[in-house]
Each structure stands twice: as structure tokens, then as C-alpha cells.
A and B are shown apart, each in its own frame.
Chain A
Amino acid sequence: ETGVTQTPRHLVMGMTNKKSLKCEQHLGHNAMYWYKQSAKKPLELMFVYNFKEQTENNSVPSRFSPECPNSSHLFLHLHTLQPEDSALYLCASSQELGRGEKLFFGSGTQLSVL
């Protein structure tokens, strides 16, 4: 266990559904991240939060809506997704936001959009 917990582990949703992914870190870290991992593609950084403030949105479509109520929790709200959004969504945290910080990842949510 890395101290970063993601739920659910698996999610199947239709294109018109609304669902949310949850991430919780028990490490006392200040920065949290959402990454997308698709087959045959490198990890893509989606969003970065530092002290619950968003510092980066990597040109992510608005059908993905992040929420960070505090430094320990991070959500990714999903609505009207497309089949190409099917992927493993990984949450990560780091002690601080900056160079040389190592990331602690959760186990991910495997999302399938039908």
C-alpha cells in the first residue's frame, strides 16, 4: 500500500452517465494529481492541485471536472464521456509541488465507457 486509495477500482458507464472517481491520501502530502493511462500511450498528466488549489489543467476536456475539497481528497467528476475516454485513471500525491518530488500513486480506477 502506498497510502493513496482510489475508489472504485473498476467502473463501467454509459456515455450519458455521471459518475465520480475518488482519491484519498493518508500521507500528509500537499500536492495531488490526476493522470490518465491509455493502452499504448504514455501517462498523461490531467490536473495538478497544490494545497487544494488547481495549478495545472493540461488541456483536459470539460467533461472531466476535478474537485479538491482539501489536501487529502481529490475527485474527478465524469459526465457525457466518450468511448475513447476508457483508460486507467491514476491519482498521485507528493509531499510538495516542485522539482525532484517523487510521486505516490494509487492503484487506479479502470474506466470503461460504453
Chain B
Amino acid sequence: SQQGEEDPQALSIQEGENATMNCSYKTSINNLQWYRQNSGRGLVHLILIRSNEREKHSGRLRVTLDTSKKSSSLLITASRAADTASYFCATDYFGSSNTGKLIFGQGTTLQVKP
């Protein structure tokens, strides 16, 4: 299966700490995206990193991509209680041509305690 696998499955930290989530995938990709999902809601796009990029920043988010290890990490710095959510990586792999087929992982559930 192409799907990404997030690690850890669950993470609990104190407000102000950094949170790091990892994603691994199995075959070559065009790009990798990270999404956030608040409980019982839809997913919200956070950031996209292309296969020729190694690092990308957006506000308190930092994403890295290591295509040799087929892995990506999402770092949330100075976490807030509002960051409590599930985080998913999604890969847009070569085989999907123009179908726009994103394969999602199972997600990391992050709890930020006030």
C-alpha cells in the first residue's frame, strides 16, 4: 500500500512545548501534504512540500522531507491548546497521473494541555 503512516499515533504535550509528528511512505511521490482535523470536522490543508524541496515553513509549522528515507516530519513550535487536533500526511504519488489521488495516513492525534 502507498499510504503514509504517521508516528506517533498519539502525542500529549504541555502548551508552549514543540510537537513533532512523522510520516513515512512507500513509493516515489510528487509532493506531500499535511492536513489538520479537529474532532468531528473536515480536514484543513496546512502545507504542501514538493519532492524537490527539503524544508518548508509556514508560521509555527516546519515541514521537512527526506525522499531518500521516504519520510516527512511536521514540527509545531510553541504549541497552543488550539493546536489540539489530528494531523494527517497525504501523498500524491507518481502512479496517480492526473487523477489527483491523495493517499492519507491514519494520523497523529495531538493533545496540547493548557
Contacts and interface: CB of A to CB of B under 8 A. Distances in A.
Range, interface on chain A: 20 to 34
A31 B100 contact: yes
Contacts of B106: 40-42
Nearest to B30: A99
Interface in A1-39: 2, 4, 6, 31, 33
Nearest to A55: B99
A103 B41 contact: no
A105 B44 contact: yes
B3 A99 contact: no
Contacts of A94: 100
Interface residues of B, number: 26
B102 interface: yes
B26 interface: no
B48 interface: yes
Contact of B40 (A97, A103, A108): A108
Contacts of A80: none
In the complex, which of the residues B43, B92, B98 has the most CB atoms of chain A within 10 Å of its own CB atom? B43
Interface string A94-112: 1011111111111110100
Contacts of A76: none
A107 B42 CA distance: 4
A114 to B, nearest CB: 20
B40 A110 contact: yes
B100 A99 contact: yes
Nearest to B96: A99
A98 B100 contact: yes
A2 B3 CA distance: 25
Interface of B: 3, 30-31, 33, 35, 40-45, 48, 50, 88, 92, 96, 98-107
Nearest 5 A-B pairs (CB), nearest first?
A105-B42, A43-B104, A102-B45, A97-B100, A105-B43
